[in-house]
Amino acid sequence: MGNPFTASAVIVAVLIVAVLLPTSLRIANEYERAVVFRLGRFVATRGPGLYFLMPMIERQVTIDLRVVTADVEEQEAITKDNVPVKVDAVVWYRVVEPGRSVIEVQKVHEAVTQVALTLLRNLLGRHSLDDLLKEKDKLSDELREYIDHATEPWGIKVQMVEMKDVVIPQSMQRAMAQEAEALREKRARIIKAEAELEAATQLKEAAAVIMQSPAGLELRRMQMITEVGAEQNTTTIVMMPSEFVSMARAIGEAAKA
């Protein structure tokens, strides 16, 4: 006959296991990891899938490994050329080392956002307004490197940073608009002057060719009469032979002498 105390102990043990086993089994999704602490000490990172957690001895902190979007609120700063600007940004980051993200920093999302705020203000102060407007993509990549370097000890990988809107004072906007208008007018005048110079050069070459052949000059005059007649206007044209023109020129030169 068996010992009743032994049988009772076995029954109690089975009941304890039956009660604690469901509460000890955990399931982590593919994008999750469990940072497990045993009596306050970090022991492992578990998941994804099914894993065991010792009741009353181990506890866990679940970390999401998916990309997180952090909005960096609008920051006002003075640029290198003393222009007040307001700039906001967006940071995309993800946790690559769950253990460090729990042990090294408290509230990792707020920490990343505050680092981005501070580094954004510093970046604005090191560059001019023209840099912010013309090289925004380059400065966004530079900001990403700074944030990634600062958050690396926390097990964070910054994937992308995008500087969105650059807001400047109204007076500066008017000045920039006037400058742009002046540049457009300058380009238009230069293009017009170049066109007139090219036309004058072509006319000079054409005149030189025509003067080499008097018959060609007469043909050109006849062509002009045809063009004027096709326009159906009332202009009267008096044709003079080129010999008369040459004679008149010679008489004028003799009179001056």
Adjacency order of strands within the sheet including 84-95: 68-78, 84-95, 156-167
Whether residue 149 is found in the same domain as residue 116 = yes
> Does any domain span residue 9?
no
Whether residue 25 is found in the same domain as residue 54 = yes
Distance CA 147, CA 127 (A): 17
pLDDT at 235 exceeding the cut of 60: no
Lowest mean pLDDT of 63-67, 135-139, 178-182, 242-246, name the range.
242-246
pLDDT of 92 reads: 97
What 3-state DSSP class applies to 48? Answer: coil
Q: Which residues of 101-112 are buried (b: 16+ CB within 10 A; e: fewer)?
A: bbeebeebeebb
Q: What is the mean pLDDT of residues 29-35?
A: 93
Whether residue 155 is found in the same domain as residue 91 = yes
Say how many domains are in the chain.
4
Q: Which residues of 59-96 are buried (b: 16+ CB within 10 A; e: fewer)?
A: ebeebebeebebebeebeeebeeebebebbbebebebe
Whether residue 88 is found in the same domain as residue 157 = yes
Confidence of residue 102 (pLDDT cuts 50, 70, 90): very high
Whether residue 150 is found in the same domain as residue 82 = yes
Residue range of the domain that includes 223: 213-230+240-257
Whether residue 223 is found in the same domain as residue 138 = no
DSSP sequence for 94-111: EES-HHHHHHS-SSHHHH
pLDDT of 112 reads: 94
Please indicate whether residue 61 or residue 17 has the higher confidence score (pLDDT). 61
Output the six-digit token pair for 167. 């807001």
Here the CATH number for the domain that contains residue 93 is 3.30.479.30
Whether residue 87 is found in the same domain as residue 43 = no
pTM of the complete model beyond 0.85: no
Output the six-digit token pair for 32. 């999750």
> Does any domain span residue 1?
no
Whether residue 154 is found in the same domain as residue 99 = yes
Output the six-digit token pair for 247. 């004679």
- Spatial neighbors of 136 by CB under 8 A, at least 6 apart, are 163, 166
User: pLDDT (tens digit, 9 = 90+) per residue, 167-186?
Assistant: 887 666 566 656 666 677 77
Whether residue 189 is found in the same domain as residue 254 = no
Please indicate whether residue 45 or residue 21 has the higher confidence score (pLDDT). 45
Q: What is the mean pLDDT of residues 214-234?
A: 62
> Does any domain span residue 2?
no
